Structure 1
Amino acid sequence: MAMTSVIRKTNIQGDIWPGLPKRFQTFLFFRIRKPDQFKTQLKAFVPEITTAETASAWKDAKKREKKLHPKDLMPGNVVPSTGINISFSAAGLAALGKFTFEEAAVKKDKKLSAIFRERQLRGGLFSIGMHQDLVYEGWDDPRDLREAYKPFGEKKERLIDGVILVTSNVERDMVEKVNRVKEHFLKESDVDPDTYILSNDPVVEFPLVRIGTTRPDGKEHFGFKDGISQPNIEGLDDTPKGREPKAVKPGMIFSGYEGDEMGQPDWATDGSFMVIRDLQQLVPEFDKFMEDNAHRAPFAADSPNPKEKLAAYIMGRWKNGTPVDVSPHDDKAGEPEFHAANDFDFQPVDRHDKCPFGAHIRKMRPRGDLNDDHAVIIRRGISYGGDVTPEERAARKSDGKFERGLIFVCYQSDIRNGFNFLTTRWASNNHFPDKKTKYVGEHGPGLDGIVGQRLSHHPPRSLGLPDGNEPSENRIELDNWVIHRGGEYFFSPSIEALREYFTGPPDYPELEGGS
């Protein structure tokens, strides 16, 4: 693939960059039952897809509106905008004849082998999917997964071929658009267009529907401001200032640009791999832990709110977004310029008295702890579920009837060097950031207290905390407040690829089903 230099906003799906408007979002996970009919429907559907250019214009309009009416921008007055994007799993590409799992058979045939080299989307983790990647490796407990994310039948088929994202700043607009999307893909069937689970031999079926809602002040369920500190992309975003992380090459997010080392086929240019991760949050248990353990953190002893300070040190930011590296002792409540601050780099990197080495934001983006960003993702998640009930708060325990959490979404040009690397090699690695044992002890910085996972043969979940000593001696054992409910790996193609390549004939007609 020849590298592209000019980023084509009209060809990129808008959720990748700059992000779709999403006070409300529906995830329509689909399975393709009739590939030929689906291709016809997909071709007619492409004009509905929101591009980066359109999403960027909406974002600019919202900024202008907010500048003109800074105090009047209430939910009912936001710029109306409803977005749609679509992505496919490897199983979905195979259903369309655009991917094969039969590499051995292909390599025996000269013609098929040439097609494979020219057109097959590369990425081993994308091919096997999230279940095989994380369950078989021991990170995910299969008992915790939603049924739709599990393989089924004797052939262990994957149920999810793709996902349609429908987002809006206005709930009724989202519901209207969801109904239109379902009607579009169901119009040849004799079923109610508002039915999710289909019958009568449909073209597609929707085995899973997930709905997310942005919470007040943009905070996730643990109470922290979400979506802060996204990577700046060269050629698209503003140039970073001061100690902000350097801008990243566009190829770290999009296929076919400088920084993309995957060597993808030409049709993949302007696309990006999407990861969806379903995370249930145990909020009462999280709050209980902070209340019960704040006294064990020496740095919290003189704080007016010890439990909030412990939570801030585990996250790396106060709940309003202020980084503890910038303000380790208070959250700068009356100084909003600090609440999305990004101008810090954890220097000096041989100390963690301001921000623990194992804090979530330091694990996920080490800044000064590394020379450069070589593992980068753009996050586009959204919360789901209602607030903690008074009964749950009193019991300090989650009620299974009221599940809540985060539908985590991220984009990158390489899943192995993006999401997988961040979660397994950094978040779940007790000894990352590297070379810190001199300052935090032989057990290392510890696990990421938010998303870090523990393999069965690993030591208990713990986090090294600053206490003024070198090496620090204070270490706290962590509970597990996030249940990993599964997910899937997808590819979000360009508009051109959707319109032309995806709706064309199968690449491997000689192989049954194109897979």
Structure 2
Amino acid sequence: MSRDLHAEPTLDTRVIQGDILPGLVKREELLLFFRIEDPTLFVPFVQGLPLTTAAEVLEQRAEIARRRAAGIEDLLPTPGLNVAFTYAGLTALGVDGLDDAPELAEFRAGMAGRTDVLSDPPAADWPVLGPTAPVDGVFVLTGATRAEIDDTVALHLAPVGSGGWSLVHEEAGSVRPEPVHGHEHFGYADGVSQPGVRGRTPGGDPLTASADPVNDPDHGGPGQRLLWPGEFVFGYPGQNPAGPKVSTRGPVSRPPVPMMRNGAFLVFRRLSQRVPEFDLAVKALAVTASTADNPVSATLMGAQLVGRWKSGAPLVMSPTADNPTLAEGSGQENAFTFAKDRDGTLCPYAAHVRKTYPRDDTPFDEDPEPTAETVELAEARTQSHRMMRRGISFGPELTHAEALSGTSDPAQARGLLFACYVTSIADQFEFVQQSWADNPSFAHPGSGVDPVIGQSADPTTPFRGAAPVTLDPGDRPELAVSHFVTMEGGEYFFAPSVRAVRAL
């Protein structure tokens, strides 16, 4: 059965902020975290901002695609400006009903109020966005260059204070240079498993086109599931976690308060990375894990921790050596499941990509011989916890001195500005962090903790490796992995529609 676009909702891309569904086009990003000092000045100020819509982003992306097809590689100016507010910010703006909706409990508490759930460091110790520096909102600015972003600041936001707001904190991110464009600082391809989104624009075009709409109507690109848009923006049908198929339409994600229609929650976290220490640890872990029957190099050990080779090639498809034909950009980097690796001998259960997106993995030992039906149901549950990720790297490239010493220079802080859009903070972001990444027994008892984003007060966390040569579950090594990613602060925001901002 071919894809029936008429059965999918029409998305109001003219009012949905651009970063939520298509994602603002960026090589550089600036986040300005602010406090509202005078709502009477701030409201007309924010109402007058030229907020970038999803429709505008789609036009930018289409023009970039046309230019590339014509062999034009020059950067296209792509200025982007979005805004999101904390619970305190929306309260200061007089939004009604925020205290009455039970589904807003996590949003009201803020990330600092959820440290126990997330196993985060004490909020009082956060160097950014902690309780000692509360914020009301964030301006998200993007562009092809930092100069382009600063032009937007000068033209629309300056001078600070004139619009009734004050600057509390700022974060700057950059896409890493070629040939590691799109890779995070440990060197691995990042953001290569974004979900596709069902729905069409007001003009009738699919938001996410299908590579093969006739023979494979439930995917965008190979392995990219098409999800119902209510997972990422309020007011549209979402996934059905109990559906017999991933494509089964679920209930509409109704906005907790009316002004939240066509908006989404924005989760932000600053994650610092100790790169040279990670590299040294990977070498040491490889020595510990390696046996005559299952030799493990440092490169393979790193791939087992992440679940992909640095190229983006999936470990489950190429378990002992990198394969450029499966790398990022090949079109095959997501065309895999875990159906043939139920025992975790190819890709460890606790590998980052398996922890955060287990696909069709059936949890624990509830189904030793899963059928096609139970596998599809398992993936239907998984897809109801997905996030639309919008992170970007921050900080300089690894220096020569750091590489030689194996020690990070405190003056050279680097990491990831994690960001994602969801319609349920609890069932999407917090569920993935708490129930999957931090849970040593997901997806199978004794699996271990996600070695990349897993949070724990313990100095090391367990990690069960793979046995890709012998394929014997008894050969999988039991390892202890130190922490090389530190959560340094974050917050929960809400990104309203442009229409809602105009109506404040």
Q: TM-score, normalised by structure 2?
A: 0.83
Cα offset for 1:334? 6.2
1:371 to 368, 379, 383: 379
Which amino acid is 1:181 matched to?
A: H
Measure, in 1, the Cα distance between the counterparts of 2:311 and 2:401.
Answer: 26
- Contact 2:390-2:420 within 8 A present in 1 as well: yes
Alignment of 1:231 onto 2:219: no
Cα offset for 1:349? 4.6
More helix by share: 1
1:221 to 185, 189, 206: 185
Alignment of 1:139 onto 2:120: yes
For structure 2, list consecutive stretches of 5 or more residues without a partner in the other structure. 1-7, 200-206, 211-218, 239-251, 362-377
Which structure would you say has the larger Rg?
Answer: 1
Measure, in 2, the Cα distance between the counterparts of 1:122 and 1:49.
Answer: 27
Cα offset for 1:243? 7.0
Alignment of 1:322 onto 2:319: no
Q: Deviations over 1:205-234 (max 9, x none)?
A: 111011101002221111011210101111
Q: Deviations over 1:111-155 (max 9, x none)?
A: xxxxx5xxx6942111110001125864323365124x1223xxx
Q: Which residue of 1 aligns with 2:366?
A: none
Q: Which residue of 2 aligns with 1:462?
A: 462
2:421 to 370, 387, 411: 411
Measure, in 2, the Cα distance between the counterparts of 1:218 and 1:129.
Answer: 29
- Contact 1:300-1:306 within 8 A present in 2 as well: no
Q: Deviations over 1:459-490 (max 9, x none)?
A: 95011112343344411100100010011000
Q: Which residue of 1 aligns with 2:93?
A: 96
Which amino acid is 1:466 matched to?
A: A
Cα offset for 1:84? 0.4
- Contact 2:18-2:24 within 8 A present in 1 as well: yes
Measure, in 1, the Cα distance between the counterparts of 2:130 and 2:306.
Answer: 31
Cα offset for 1:284? 0.7
Q: Which residue of 2 aligns with 1:331?
A: 322
Q: Which residue of 2 aligns with 1:361?
A: 353
The equivalences for 1:201-216 within 5 A come to 203-216=164-177
Q: Which residue of 1 aligns with 2:286?
A: 294
1:169 to 126, 144, 149: 144
- Contact 2:220-2:226 within 8 A present in 1 as well: no
The equivalences for 1:168-187 within 5 A come to 168-183=143-158, 186-187=161-162
3-state secondary structure, aligned to 2:379: coil
Measure, in 2, the Cα distance between the counterparts of 1:280 and 1:223.
Answer: 14
Which deviates the most, 246-255 or 273-282?
246-255
Cα offset for 1:348? 2.2
Measure, in 1, the Cα distance between the counterparts of 2:26 and 2:260.
Answer: 26
Measure, in 2, the Cα distance between the counterparts of 1:175 and 1:166.
Answer: 9
Cα offset for 1:350? 1.9
Q: Deviations over 1:319-349 (max 9, x none)?
A: 1111111111222236655476111111125
Cα offset for 1:390? 1.6
3-state secondary structure, aligned to 1:368: coil
Which amino acid is 1:221 matched to?
A: H
Cα offset for 1:302? 7.3
Alignment of 1:284 onto 2:284: no
Q: TM-score, normalised by structure 1?
A: 0.81
Which deviates the most, 288-297 or 357-366?
288-297
- Contact 1:377-1:419 within 8 A present in 2 as well: yes
3-state secondary structure, aligned to 2:88: helix
Call closer, same or farther: CA 1:83–1:261 in 2, change over 3 Å: closer
Q: Which residue of 2 aligns with 1:44?
A: 48
Cα offset for 1:81? 1.0
Q: Which residue of 2 aligns with 1:129?
A: 110
3-state secondary structure, aligned to 2:272: strand
2:75 to 68, 74, 78: 78
Measure, in 2, the Cα distance between the counterparts of 1:343 and 1:220.
Answer: 22
Alignment of 1:151 onto 2:126: no
Call closer, same or farther: CA 1:278–1:299 in 2, change over 3 Å: farther
Q: Which residue of 1 aligns with 2:232?
A: 253
Which amino acid is 1:212 matched to?
A: G
Cα offset for 1:178? 2.0
Q: How well do the aligned residues superpose, as a CA RMSD in angstroms?
A: 2.4
- Contact 2:265-2:425 within 8 A present in 1 as well: yes
Call closer, same or farther: CA 1:255–1:406 in 2, change over 3 Å: same
